[in-house]
Amino acid sequence: MKIHIPTPLRAYTDRQDAVSVNAATLGEALDELTTKHPDLKKHLYSEEGKLRAFVNVYLNDEDIRYLPEKESTKVGEGDALSIIPSIAGGC
Amino acid sequence: MTTTLETSAALPELSNNEIARYSRHLILPEVGLEGQQKLKAAKVLCVGTGGLGAPLTYYLAAAGIGTIGLVDFDVVDESNLQRQIIHSTKDVGRPKIDSAAEKLKALNPHLNIVKYETMLTSANALEIIKGYDVVADGTDNFQTRYLVNDACVLSGNIPNAYGSIFRFEGQASVFATEEGPCYRCLYPEPPPPGLVPSCAEGGVLGILPGLVGVIQATEVIKLILGKGEPLIGRLLLVDSLNMKFRELKLRKNPDCPVCGKNPTVTELIDYDQFCGITPEPKAVEVNGTQVQNGIPQISPKDLKKKLDEGADIFVLDVREPHEYQIANLGAKLIPLGEVANRYVELDKDREIVVHCKMGGRSQKAAEFLQQQGFKVTNLAGGITAWSNDVDPTIAKY
């Protein structure tokens, strides 16, 4: 499945706007992403391993924090994960 | 879905001039005479008259909003004109609020404008917002984003037509309605300072605030008319480079500190502190030299003098390659993000003067290099100050 990387975090994925992973669950997909791009990890997770408060991850159009099965949610080739960080620009 | 705005019992009449002006609205059944009267009765507060605020206020004025409040304290800069279409070349140096008010009034003399030439702060936000039906947030920093959100919620859920942009991407939603989520439900905390660059640091495609600001204006109009599906509980993502619009579901967080069931934020707080903004340590004078956070500062004129005298100084530029292409001093280039990996390329025995565009990034690089044992000085004001004080042929950007 594809994981979409937003502009501010592309510095940590060799400027790629999407990363393909081969995973059966949501947790595996995110693990594979941060294993492939270790620099990304500290921008997505706190030291306690919690998703940071200014980053949201969506499986298709749903916030993963609200998925009933959380990290064990099954994912397939047709699904897309999007990382949506907080932006503030308006100037 | 119904919106939170109530119809006032006695709507203002439209004059024959106004009927002629708004004819294309009046013949739309979804607007009609009553809708146009609602727009005339409406009061909209627009925070910021920059990239988002320019198209937003322009369209709101054209559409016949009765009262528009403008909050801005900035002056028009030449670099604003690539996107802030409400300001013209002749306005450079003028307060944005005057320039904007003049254009809006010229477009629609029926409009009532209330000017707040101030920064929105915890001390004045509730007082300013009071009495407005809708707020449109067109600001450009996290502190004000959270301030606007909290003030809207704490003022009894005044809907906030939200838009934000970064380079080629935008986000839009309607926050702080009674039934819907607020900005803190989406992002409980801001990123650490410096992680997401501002427009001035990261650049922005000129048309992008046009796209997003007009989406905000559309939402404002819909909220007032009570028509259509507002962007409540939805985050619209705009990707102008691939021209893709996507939508994500947002939920009201029952544990939200401001709009949840047991709120912990019940009054406006210190938003600089909340966003981790600490005031820059002031430069101190040590033996006739300005020193900031342990790094000696040199003025462009003094650096020029030293170089002319043949001093053995190595100049290091820590900007990005595309900035170097616009203007440079012929110095070695190592972008700030690469300094930690490439500092071994530098000579420990030579005095290094670091520069960037304005002096901020080079200060960071200098602090790092000093820790590694280099003898470093920061060029105060960067290449911009060099252009101002030493060599005006160097382009400012």
Q: Going from the N-terminus, what domains does chain B have, and what CATH number goes with each?
A: 16-274 (3.40.50.720), 284-389 (3.40.250.10)
Residues of B (111-140) whose Cβ lies below 8 Å from A: 137-140
Residue of A nearest to B183 (CA): A86
In sequence order, the 6+-apart residues with CB closer than 8 A to the CB of B205 are B167, B168, B240, B241
Tell me what ipTM this predicted complex has: 0.90
> Which residues are within 8 A (CB) of B126 and not within 5 positions of it... i.e. 6 or more apart?
B151, B154, B155, B268
Instruction: Return the residue in A43, A52, A64, A87 with the most chain B beta carbons within 10 A, the one to mutate for interface testing.
Output: A87
CB contact (8 A) between residue B191 and residue A54: yes
Report which of B198, B205, B206, B204 is spatially closest to residue B361, judged by C-alpha positions: B198
Q: CA B341 to CA B339: how far, in whole Å?
A: 5
Measured CA to CA, the distance from residue B209 to residue B101 in angstroms comes to 19
Question: Is A91's CB within 8 Å of B50's CB?
Answer: yes
Are the beta carbons of B204 and A88 separated by less than 8 Å?
no
> Tokens 């008319």 correspond to what residue?
B225
Residue B69, φ and ψ in degrees, nearest 5: -90, 135
CA distance B55 to B66: 17
- Dihedral sign, Cα of residue B44, residue B22, residue B50, residue B88: negative
| Domains within chain A, CATH numbers bracketed | 2-85 (3.10.20.30)
Q: A44 to chain B: which residues are within 8 Å by CB?
A: none
Task: List chain B pLDDT tens, one digit each, 397 residues.
Answer: 445 455 556 899 999 999 999 999 999 999 999 999 999 999 999 999 999 999 999 999 999 999 999 999 999 999 999 999 999 999 999 999 999 999 999 999 999 999 999 999 999 999 999 999 999 999 999 999 999 999 999 999 999 999 999 999 999 999 999 999 999 999 999 988 877 777 777 889 999 999 999 999 999 999 999 999 999 999 999 999 989 999 999 999 999 999 999 999 999 999 999 998 887 777 888 888 899 999 999 999 999 999 999 999 999 999 999 999 999 999 999 999 899 999 999 999 999 999 999 999 999 999 999 999 999 999 999 999 999 999 999 999 9
| Cβ–Cβ contact B171 with A under 8 A | yes
In this prediction, residue A46 carries a pLDDT of 87
Which positions in chain A touch B164 (Cβ < 8 Å)? 87-90
pLDDT for residue B1 = 45
Residues in A touching B209 (Cβ below 8 Å)? 90-91
Give A-chain residues touching B52 at CB under 8 angstroms: 90
Please tell me which of the candidates B163, B187, B251 has its beta carbon nearest to residue A90.
B163
**Do B169 and A7 lie within an 8 Å CB cutoff?**
yes
Are B249 and A11 within 8 A, CB to CB? no
Position B2 scores a pLDDT of 46
Which of these, B167, B107, B158, lies nearest to B137 by C-alpha position?
B158
Q: Which residues of B are catalytic?
A: 199, 356
pTM for this entry: 0.87
Mean pLDDT of the A8-23 span = 90
Q: Do B53 and A90 touch (CB under 8 A)?
A: yes
Token digits of residue B134 = 């809708």
